């Protein structure tokens, strides 16, 4: 049986997909114990471990596939993270980065949203993200001497989300901006968002990249 690992699995959404769609023995590792408790409640087939993605408690050459998703943007030593993934991956195995955003290349339209987009990005940077993680992932894999490296950008299209999904996004944005804006300013922002949603005019693009490479040892 093959072994598959998701690094920084969080609440296990991607890990569950891997478990359901493969016949592999699937593992997830994350630093936040509360996330893993939630993940385990919904997926008893996957083996979840609480640990540091920079120092994983796995032997060398153990997994056929190691992946991550919205993980590297939170990691300050990204080369070390890729090196650790390389260490635990078998020869001829694969490392796949499913998605990493590039917040520094964010697009907001109409222009009334430009300052709000910048405020949200600045807030995320203060929380510890690397705003250009997405654009770097191909070079990170190449620097670790992975073979057959492929890099791409996830496609974006303008579909009007249902109101509940839009509201969830706005709530996340307002929490990110709360340090910088007053309650009255946040209300103005939400009024702009609701009006743009009603008129199907809102464009918000955060370029998000994927990459994969084959391990040769």
* Chain length of the chain: 217
Q: Report whether pLDDT(16) > 70.
A: yes
- pLDDT classification of 171: cutoffs 50, 70, 90: very high
Q: List the single range of 28-32, 36-40, 126-130 with lowest mean pLDDT.
A: 36-40
Encode pLDDT of 88-126 as tens digits.
999 999 999 999 999 999 999 999 999 999 999 999 999
Q: How many helices (H) and strands (E) does the chain have?
A: 7, 9
Alpha-helical (H) ranges within the chain are: 13-21, 33-42, 78-88, 114-127, 133-143, 163-177, 183-198
CA distance 18 to 29: 14
Q: Report whether pLDDT(183) > 70.
A: yes
Per the structure block, which two tokens stand in for 166?
A: 């839009």
Q: Domains of the chain: which residue ranges?
A: 52-214
Chain Cα centroid distance, residue 153: 13
**Of 151, 155, 130, nearest to 210 (Cα)?**
151
Q: What is the mean pLDDT of residues 40-69?
A: 91
- The pTM of this model reads 0.92
User: pLDDT at position 56, please?
Assistant: 97
Fold designation for 52-214: Rossmann fold (3.40.50)
Q: What is the mean pLDDT of residues 183-210?
A: 95
């Amino acid at each position: 049986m093959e072994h598959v690992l998701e690094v920084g699995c969080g609440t296990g959404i991607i890990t569950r997909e891997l478990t359901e769609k493969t016949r592999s023995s699937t593992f997830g590792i994350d630093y936040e114990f509360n996330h893993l408790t939630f993940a385990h409640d919904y997926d008893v087939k996957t083996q979840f471990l609480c640990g540091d993605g920079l120092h994983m408690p796995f032997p060398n050459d153990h997994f056929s596939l190691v992946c991550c998703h919205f993980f590297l943007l939170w990691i300050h030593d990204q080369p070390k993270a890729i090196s650790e993934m390389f260490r635990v991956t078998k020869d001829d195995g694969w490392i796949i980065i499913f998605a990493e955003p590039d917040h520094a290349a964010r697009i907001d339209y109409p222009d009334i949203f430009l300052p709000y987009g910048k405020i949200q990005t600045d807030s995320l940077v203060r929380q510890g993200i690397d705003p250009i993680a997405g654009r770097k992932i191909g070079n990170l894999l190449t620097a670790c001497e992975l073979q057959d490296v492929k890099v791409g950008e996830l496609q974006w299209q303008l579909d009007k989300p249902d109101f509940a999904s839009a509201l969830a996004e706005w709530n996340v944005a307002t929490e990110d901006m709360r340090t910088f804006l007053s309650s009255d300013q946040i209300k103005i922002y939400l009024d702009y968002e609701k009006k743009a949603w009603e008129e199907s005019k809102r464009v918000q693009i955060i370029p998000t990249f994927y990459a994969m490479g084959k391990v040769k040892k």
